[in-house]
Amino acid sequence: MIKSELVQVLAAENPHLFVKDVEKIVGAIFDHISTALAEGDRVELRGFGAFSVKHREARVGRNPRTGDPVEIEEKWTPFFKAGKEMRECLNQEDVALAAAE
């Protein structure tokens, strides 16, 4: 599901809201999550999961085509860990799908 699909689903489930308002709400949520991560904060959405940032040290990698060593700079990468409720929901669906086959 992409952002525009999410907006359409939420707008359909909430007919009292205009699509433009739903777009602003979804955009604001994503912007606040991005801003918090950029500031080094952790964002936890109970039942869904937690977003955090992990530091990756500088290292020497290899060019896969030539095998030559390549310097890789240190960087910060976003990390998502699914919450317990989400994992349970996903695993229940896997069991239901496997039983249906």
> Tell me: the pLDDT tens digits for 5-58?
999 999 999 999 999 999 999 999 999 999 999 999 999 999 899 999 999 999
59: enclosing H helix or E strand: strand 59-62
The answer to pTM > 0.85 is no
Task: Give Dmax (Cα) for the chain.
Answer: 59
Residue 73 CB contacts under 8 Å (≥ 6 apart), including other chains: 58
DSSP 3-52: HHHHHHHHHHH-TTS-HHHHHHHHHHHHHHHHHHHHTT--EEETTTEEEE
